[in-house]
Chains A and B, each alone.
Chain A
Amino acid sequence: MNDLEVRVRAICQAHENNRTRLMDIVNAVQNEFGYVPGCALDAIAKECGTQRVAVQSLVSFYAFHSELPKGRHVIRLCNDIVDQFQDVQAVADAMVDEAGVPFGQTTPDNLLHLEWTPCIGMSDQAPAAIVDDVIFPRLTPAKAKALVKALKAGKSCAELAGRTGDGNNSHRLVKSAVHNNLRLRGDVIFADYHPGSGLAKALAMSPAEVVRDVKTSRLRGRGGAGFPTGMKWDFARQTDNRNKYVICNADEGEPGTFKDRVILTECPELLFDGMTIAGYATGSAHGILYLRAEYAYLKAFIEDLLAKRHKKGLLGKDVAGKTGFNFDIRIQMGAGAYICGEETALISSCEGRRGDPKNRPPFPAQKGYLECPTIVNNVETFCCAARILQEGPGWFAQKGSKGSPGTKLLSVSGDCEKPGVYEVPFGIQLQDLLEMVGADHPAAVQIGGPSGSLVGKAEFNRTICYDDLATGGSVMIFNQKRDVLKIAMYFLDFFIEESCGYCTPCRVGNVLIRERLGRFLNGTAESADLDYLTRLGTTVKFMSRCGMGQTSPNPVLTTLKNFPDAYRSRVKERKDKFQPTFDIGAALVDSQALAGRKSVHF
């Protein structure tokens, strides 16, 4: 047995050779060696009593895992559309220039690897990159060059992190250059809150009463889908399984969303109170916080807070003195997969599997994590629940709009003066929001991230709430210089990359949509392609298996609907009605090379 196998075995044994903790095991192997080599697959499989191919299945799924060595420092530069419009390309060029290798490659000395990554939750301080779990926000070409140079000189990322940001970003366990950019505090999430107060009120009631209060408040899930939280809790409460689970979805991956980052940095106690209340209400003793890999810089800070709650008796046995109520929270790190924000995919990932969504029914509240009743809620939802228990359901229900009570955290980015997090009452008009954030000649706004919709000026009078412009929080503002089709193409590329590949329409359909959308961008589209895109998009929406697939054609379908001229103006009908649909010169390149001569005709 070689050294690597010895280390891998030790890692497995530290996790009790538990097959369901495969994510933690593989993350640890990846962190230690920089990749998960073939012999590690075999060693993990042997230790955990599973198959090599099952381990490979997981490793090959997540963007932060690698079967090949990638170099000591992996520089992941965010290529989100907001970063692109803030000239991330110039930053990338500076990195390539200094590193001497293009993106997707490792330097010959195995020191640096450059790669692109989708939204890392820093759209308010773009362009941004992650290197070895350290965030480098607000990059310029000069800063990027200096960063690569210093890494080449042997400096560590921690040394290079730069001046720490505001609030807890300067905490000794965070020490990050990230800024909160908390622009507007509302009176639900970012109000003054004494840790434990909502929990104390809840524990003075019966679990059924807690669920009743959450129902009365009419709280709906803040992740975007808007399912009534009280109803979800009630389903789980009414099951008689001994083991139940409360999972917090902190896999904030929807491009343009970063509000959970600020909650986790500034008021994590509110979140833990909410999770603990959910545990009490549903009869669960186990909490899991699923933290996206991009937020690994917050892990030590959160772990420390959890340990402190243990000492204070707010976690563990007989929580807050409530005899018989035991509750604990563990952190599950993700590894770079947007689909894991989908609740059943997130459960698969927690179970130590690739992040495939599960078939429904059964629903997680009946059969979720390890086949046990499980509730999965968004970070913001748990925070709302804690405040509801503290202040009462009536207090909450009268805020916001009729069908959408409470406040909503919006992550605002793009072409505006004051990007950042805004806590606004539901029902706010888009126009008012745009004024508040200092939008610069806004021409289009992406509400709800790529899976939401891109709306134009004519719809700026619409309101942000579940019944009109529903959103998990992402608001990306684009001025009149931005190309709507490029935005749609970027989002489509994002979905194509992040598709789990399980079902046909999402896996294949979006690739076909991209091909046709590309014709509009390269000038070979004909008018019939408009109908082609609409039909194909409708099939993908209708036939896909999970929420991601069902919304994945939205970038194209909503721009077709709201910005038809962006498409029509690019259709060039020729007089002879024959429209070249591909570049014949490019298509003949291979054949010409084989034949050793050029085509006579083309």
Chain B
Amino acid sequence: MSTTIKMTIDGKEIQAHPDQTILQAADAAGVYIPRLCNMKELIPHGSCRVCTVRCNGRPQAACIQPVADGMVVESNTPELTEHRRAIIDMLFVEGNHYCMFCEKSGNCELQAMAYRLGIATPRYPYQFPHRQVDATHPDVLIDRNRCILCGRCVSASRDVDGKSVFEFVGRNSHKRVAVNAESGLGATALTGADRAAGVCPVGSIIRKRTAYAQPIGQRKYDHQPIGSDIEAAGQK
């Protein structure tokens, strides 16, 4: 790639490749735009909407929107931070999230995002939905109480593992992740080594017998907020 384009994010001028999304260009420039469903190796899903920015004044999901020369992007503004907090709050109250004893605590992207955005407790009333747990697989567990419907497992199983073990079923607030077998995850082609078993941003799909392996103080987000790796790379 020889050609580059120029654009600004929060007033900072950056260079980008024409085939990048706003999120990719920002990452490369060391500007962190908060995001949840997006994961580098997977096709962008564009569902959580946390990475929404103002792109030439209009709201766009940074993980989907391609860059363009002269594009003006606003991300770290009070307005957008407020909307992002609202989305994180929605995800917390939509499911049943028990951070204090969740195996994913300290390594959870939802929890880390809440801390980064300064959320101590959600502003909305908890919905306390009834959700299914599936422990039929010998090595992997699904606890839908914590699912945020980001689609990573669906994409990883289909596009990386080539198995399509997971898919969304139902619509509206009844939408959930289902597996490719009537009797549960244990009857699917999933193995513990599958990429799909390791992409969940929260504690919804977890490998069995791996919980609490890291002591508090050594977990991923214990000392640095989520996104600081991207920001640190930009400092160099």
- Chain A residues packing against B (C-beta within 8 Å): 38, 51-54, 56-57, 60-61, 337, 339, 354, 359-361, 496-505, 507-509, 511-512, 515, 535-536, 539, 542-545
Kindly state the separation between the CA atoms of A533 and B87 in the bound complex, as whole angstroms: 15
Contact A508 B93, CB 8 Å, known A53-B178, A515-B125: yes
Contact A52 B181 (CB under 8 A): yes
Contact B175 A508 (CB under 8 A): no
Tell which of A500, A503, A545 touches B171, judged by Cβ atoms closer than 8 Å: A500
- B199 CB to closest chain A CB (Å) equals 18
Residues on B with beta carbons closer than 8 Å to the beta carbon of A56: 167, 169, 178
Contact B46 A359 (CB under 8 A): yes
Contact A499 B172 (CB under 8 A): yes
Contact B47 A509 (CB under 8 A): no
Per-residue 0/1 for B36-60: is the Cβ within 8 Å of any A Cβ (1 yes, 0 no)? 0000000010111110100000010
- B106 CB to closest chain A CB (Å) equals 23
Apart from A53-B169, A53-B179, A507-B173, what 16 extra A-B contacts exist at CB < 8 Å?
A: A52-B182, A54-B167, A61-B170, A359-B44, A499-B173, A500-B175, A501-B149, A501-B170, A501-B171, A504-B50, A504-B149, A505-B86, A508-B90, A508-B91, A515-B125, A542-B52
Residues on A with beta carbons closer than 8 Å to the beta carbon of B66: 361
**Any A CB within 8 A of the CB of B64:** yes
**Any A CB within 8 A of the CB of B61:** yes
Per-residue 0/1 for B198-230: is the Cβ within 8 Å of any A Cβ (1 yes, 0 no)? 000000000000000000000000000000000
Tell which of A38, A60, A504, A505 touches B170, judged by Cβ atoms closer than 8 Å: A60
Kindly state the separation between the CA atoms of A448 and B121 in the bound complex, as whole angstroms: 38
Kindly state the separation between the CA atoms of A53 and B170 in the bound complex, as whole angstroms: 11
**Any A CB within 8 A of the CB of B12:** no
Tell which of B87, B93, B94, B171 touches A61, judged by Cβ atoms closer than 8 Å: B171
Kindly state the separation between the CA atoms of A82 and B171 in the bound complex, as whole angstroms: 25
Tell which of B47, B166, B167, B169 touches A503, judged by Cβ atoms closer than 8 Å: B47
Contact A505 B90, CB 8 Å, known A52-B180, A543-B59, A545-B46: yes
Which 9 A-B pairs give the minimum distances between C-beta atoms? A501-B175, A508-B90, A53-B180, A60-B169, A53-B167, A539-B86, A499-B172, A543-B49, A57-B167
Contact A543 B52, CB 8 Å, known A508-B90, A508-B94: yes
Residues on B with beta carbons closer than 8 Å to the beta carbon of A503: 46-49
Tell which of B52, B127, B171, B182 touches A354, judged by Cβ atoms closer than 8 Å: B171
Contact B181 A504 (CB under 8 A): no
- B90 CB to closest chain A CB (Å) equals 4
- B159 CB to closest chain A CB (Å) equals 14
Kindly state the separation between the CA atoms of A545 and B87 in the bound complex, as whole angstroms: 13
Contact B166 A53 (CB under 8 A): yes
Per-residue 0/1 for B131-166: is the Cβ within 8 Å of any A Cβ (1 yes, 0 no)? 000000000000000001100000000000000111
A–B Cβ pairs within 8 angstroms, 14 of them: A38-B182, A52-B181, A56-B167, A57-B168, A60-B170, A359-B44, A498-B172, A504-B47, A504-B48, A504-B50, A507-B172, A507-B175, A508-B94, A512-B124
Counting contact residues on chain B (CB < 8 A from A), the size range is 35 or more
Closest to B148 in A: A504
Contact B179 A499 (CB under 8 A): no
- B150 CB to closest chain A CB (Å) equals 9
**Any A CB within 8 A of the CB of B174:** yes
Residues on A with beta carbons closer than 8 Å to the beta carbon of B94: 504, 507-508
Kindly state the separation between the CA atoms of A598 and B180 in the bound complex, as whole angstroms: 46
- A209 CB to closest chain B CB (Å) equals 32
Residues on B with beta carbons closer than 8 Å to the beta carbon of A61: 169-171
Residues on B with beta carbons closer than 8 Å to the beta carbon of A508: 90-91, 93-94, 173
Question: Which of B47, B125, B127, B166 has the most chain A CB atoms closer than 10 A to its own CB?
Answer: B47
Contact A539 B87, CB 8 Å, known A53-B179, A500-B172, A501-B149: yes
Residues on B with beta carbons closer than 8 Å to the beta carbon of A54: 164, 167, 180
- B78 CB to closest chain A CB (Å) equals 13
Kindly state the separation between the CA atoms of A539 and B82 in the bound complex, as whole angstroms: 9
Residues on B with beta carbons closer than 8 Å to the beta carbon of A509: 86, 90
Residues on B with beta carbons closer than 8 Å to the beta carbon of A544: 49
Contact A499 B171 (CB under 8 A): yes
Kindly state the separation between the CA atoms of A464 and B165 in the bound complex, as whole angstroms: 50
Question: Which of B82, B166, B170, B172 has the most chain A CB atoms closer than 10 A to its own CB?
Answer: B172
Kindly state the separation between the CA atoms of A56 and B182 in the bound complex, as whole angstroms: 10
Closest to B179 in A: A53
Per-residue 0/1 for B84-98: is the Cβ within 8 Å of any A Cβ (1 yes, 0 no)? 001100110110000
- B42 CB to closest chain A CB (Å) equals 13
Kindly state the separation between the CA atoms of A512 and B50 in the bound complex, as whole angstroms: 18
Residues on B with beta carbons closer than 8 Å to the beta carbon of A539: 82-83, 86-87
Kindly state the separation between the CA atoms of A359 and B48 in the bound complex, as whole angstroms: 13
Residues on B with beta carbons closer than 8 Å to the beta carbon of A52: 180-182
Contact A502 B127 (CB under 8 A): no
Closest to B66 in A: A361
Kindly state the separation between the CA atoms of A360 and B46 in the bound complex, as whole angstroms: 10
Kindly state the separation between the CA atoms of A502 and B86 in the bound complex, as whole angstroms: 17
Kindly state the separation between the CA atoms of A499 and B170 in the bound complex, as whole angstroms: 10
Kindly state the separation between the CA atoms of A503 and B44 in the bound complex, as whole angstroms: 13
Residues on B with beta carbons closer than 8 Å to the beta carbon of A535: 86
Kindly state the separation between the CA atoms of A481 and B11 in the bound complex, as whole angstroms: 53
Residues on A with beta carbons closer than 8 Å to the beta carbon of B83: 539, 542-543
- A519 CB to closest chain B CB (Å) equals 11
Residues on A with beta carbons closer than 8 Å to the beta carbon of B149: 501, 504, 507
Kindly state the separation between the CA atoms of A147 and B44 in the bound complex, as whole angstroms: 51
Tell which of A354, A496, A498, A515 touches B168, judged by Cβ atoms closer than 8 Å: A354
Residues on B with beta carbons closer than 8 Å to the beta carbon of A500: 171-172, 175
Tell which of A51, A497, A545 touches B61, judged by Cβ atoms closer than 8 Å: A545
Question: Which of A57, A503, A505 has the most chain B CB atoms closer than 10 A to its own CB?
Answer: A503
Closest to B169 in A: A60
Residues on B with beta carbons closer than 8 Å to the beta carbon of A512: 90, 93, 124-125
Closest to B151 in A: A502
Contact A501 B172 (CB under 8 A): yes
Contact B180 A359 (CB under 8 A): no
Kindly state the separation between the CA atoms of A498 and B48 in the bound complex, as whole angstroms: 18
Closest to B178 in A: A53
Kindly state the separation between the CA atoms of A509 and B94 in the bound complex, as whole angstroms: 9
Residues on B with beta carbons closer than 8 Å to the beta carbon of A57: 167-169, 178
Contact A504 B173 (CB under 8 A): no
Residues on B with beta carbons closer than 8 Å to the beta carbon of A354: 168, 171
Contact B173 A545 (CB under 8 A): no
Residues on A with beta carbons closer than 8 Å to the beta carbon of B127: 511
Residues on B with beta carbons closer than 8 Å to the beta carbon of A504: 47-50, 87, 90-91, 94, 148-149
Residues on A with beta carbons closer than 8 Å to the beta carbon of B87: 504-505, 539, 543
Contact A53 B164 (CB under 8 A): yes
Contact A501 B61, CB 8 Å, known A57-B178, A511-B127, A545-B47: no
- B68 CB to closest chain A CB (Å) equals 11
Closest to A550 in B: B59
Contact B164 A501 (CB under 8 A): no
Residues on B with beta carbons closer than 8 Å to the beta carbon of A359: 44, 46, 61, 64
Contact A511 B173 (CB under 8 A): yes
- A20 CB to closest chain B CB (Å) equals 16
Question: Which of A359, A504, A535, A536 has the most chain B CB atoms closer than 10 A to its own CB?
Answer: A504
Residues on A with beta carbons closer than 8 Å to the beta carbon of B64: 359-361
- A580 CB to closest chain B CB (Å) equals 14
